[in-house]
């Protein structure tokens, strides 16, 4: 697969490069970055020193590749296609939120619910990181028609979720030993979460009360969601394990989840607890992998008929 990357200097592009350099079926043709044109990739993504001699380019040829990854910020993808002609047959995997409403022929790239549609797609809108963690916590309940009340969710995210450009809330001296809430009840990922839940449970119109929290760690998302249900824990565990039986990266644990089980992998690790009438679902992912670039490569594999796990067998860093 001949691959091009637009927006090559950010965190998600760095993780994407790390995966694709080691992917058995991938050849990177260009990595575009206007601000870094001519520089070796490893000067920006320093962990890639010794792994690649690629340099960032200012120009690109969309006719020379099979698939294009768009790794720029939200809003840039639509502008990119206003300025550039899309070649016939080009596959697109967009990591921004521009097409997550499935407009203009894009398929929402959450394999655990859209695997067959992704295999037939030419354009993929990769899900958001918080959206991935919370959806994976709720999909089995939606499929069973059991989301019949308000959903409460709190998610803590690492600082890499804010992007590579420094800002007031990403500066080390502010983020270290600190927690803060942002976009309470109004996070942009709520729209895509509701869209998918309605796909599985038509007519779903319950409130999702979501509190996002900035964590004082670099990467990972730890999400805690709970609803009222009359299911007992054994019924709930069976529901979840059956739903994810064929999902190579989503695992239901019988023990409490630790964030370190998921960080540096494409895994989502889920655990369930029942407290009175409330079912608590805890989900952990790496925001840069299952929440972004790892899931993008998972979608790449599905589009091209490769094993879903190709290039994604990554071990967590436990210590």
Q: For 74-105, write each residue's pLDDT tens digit.
A: 899 999 999 999 999 999 999 999 999 999 99
The verdict on 205 and 77 lying in the same domain is no
Does 312 reside within a domain?
no
d(CA 66, CA 282): 38
Q: Is residue 314 part of a domain?
A: no
Asked if residue 150 and residue 47 are part of one domain, the reply reads no
Could you tell me which residues are beta bridge partners of residue 224? 154, 282
Report pLDDT digits (tens) over 112-123.
Answer: 999 999 999 999
Q: Indicate if 26 and 156 belong to the same structural domain.
A: no
Is 174 in the same domain as 274?
yes
Q: What is the CATH number of the domain that holds 43?
A: 3.40.50.720
Residues 137, 276 share a domain: yes
The answer to whether residues 258 and 135 belong to one domain is yes
- The string of pLDDT tens digits covering residues 198-214 is 999 999 999 999 999 99
- Residue 310 maps to a domain: no
* pLDDT of 171 strictly over 90: no
Q: Are both 251 and 176 inside the same structural domain?
A: yes
What mean pLDDT is predicted for residues 10-35?
A: 96
Residue 260 has pLDDT above 80, yes or no: yes
- Which listed residue (17, 95, 129, 190) is catalytic? 129
User: Is residue 309 a part of any domain in this protein?
Assistant: no
Domain of 197 in residue numbering reads as 129-285
Total domain count, the chain: 2
Quick one: 114 and 150 in the same domain? no
DSSP letters, 247-290, are -SSEEEESS---GGGTTTSS-EEEEEEEETTEEEEEEEE-TTTT
What is the gyration radius of the CA atoms in the chain, in angstroms? 19
280 inside domain:
yes
101 and 179 belong to one structural domain: no
With DSSP H G I counted as helix, E B as strand and the rest as coil, what are the percentages for the chain, rounded to 5?
Answer: 30, 25, 45
Domain match, 155 and 257 both: yes
Q: Tell me whether residue 55 is in a domain.
A: yes
Active site residue 129: yes
- Over residues 208-231, the pLDDT tens digits come to 999 999 999 999 999 999 999 999
Query: Are residues 147 and 54 part of one domain?
Result: no
315: in domain: no
Q: Is residue 318 part of a domain?
A: no
pTM (2 d.p.): 0.96
DSSP for 134-161, written as a single string: HHHHHHHHHHTT---S-EEEEEEE-GGG
Q: Do 230 and 160 belong together in one domain?
A: yes
* CATH number of the domain that residue 222 is part of: 3.30.360.10
The predicted structure's pLDDT at residue 136: 98
Residue 100 main-chain phi, psi, to 5 deg: -70, -10
């Amino acid at each position: 697969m001949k691959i091009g990357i637009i927006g090559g200097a950010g965190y998600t592009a760095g993780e994407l490069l790390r995966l694709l350099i080691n992917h058995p079926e991938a050849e990177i043709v260009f990595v575009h970055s206007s601000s870094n044109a001519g520089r070796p990739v490893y000067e920006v993504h320093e962990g890639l020193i010794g792994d690649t001699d690629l340099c960032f380019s200012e120009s690109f040829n969309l006719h020379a590749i099979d698939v294009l990854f768009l790794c720029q910020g939200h809003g840039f993808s639509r502008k990119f296609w206003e300025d550039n002609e899309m070649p016939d047959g080009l596959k697109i995997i967009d990591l921004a939120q521009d097409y997550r409403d499935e407009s203009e022929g894009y398929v929402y790239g959450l394999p655990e619910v859209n695997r067959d549609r992704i295999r037939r797609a030419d354009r993929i809108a990769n899900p958001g990181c918080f959206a991935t963690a919370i959806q994976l916590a709720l999909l089995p309940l939606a499929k069973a028609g059991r989301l019949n009340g308000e959903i409460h969710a709190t998610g803590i995210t690492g600082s890499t979720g804010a992007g590579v450009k420094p800002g007031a809330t990403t500066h080390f001296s502010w983020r270290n030993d600190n927690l803060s809430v942002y976009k309470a009840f109004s996070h942009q990922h709520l729209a895509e979460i509701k869209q998918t839940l309605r796909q599985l449970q038509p007519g779903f119109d319950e409130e999702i009360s979501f509190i996002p929290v900035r964590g004082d760690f670099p990467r990972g998302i730890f999400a805690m969601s709970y609803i009222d249900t009359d299911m007992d824990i054994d019924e709930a565990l069976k529901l979840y394990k059956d739903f994810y039986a064929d999902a190579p990266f989503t695992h239901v644990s019988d023990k409490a989840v630790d964030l370190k089980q998921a960080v540096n992998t494409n895994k989502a690790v889920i655990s369930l607890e029942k407290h009175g009438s409330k079912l608590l679902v805890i989900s952990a992912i790496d925001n840069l992998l299952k929440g972004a670039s790892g899931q993008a490569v998972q979608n790449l594999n599905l589009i091209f008929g490769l094993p879903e796990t190709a290039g994604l067998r990554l071990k967590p860093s436990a210590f």
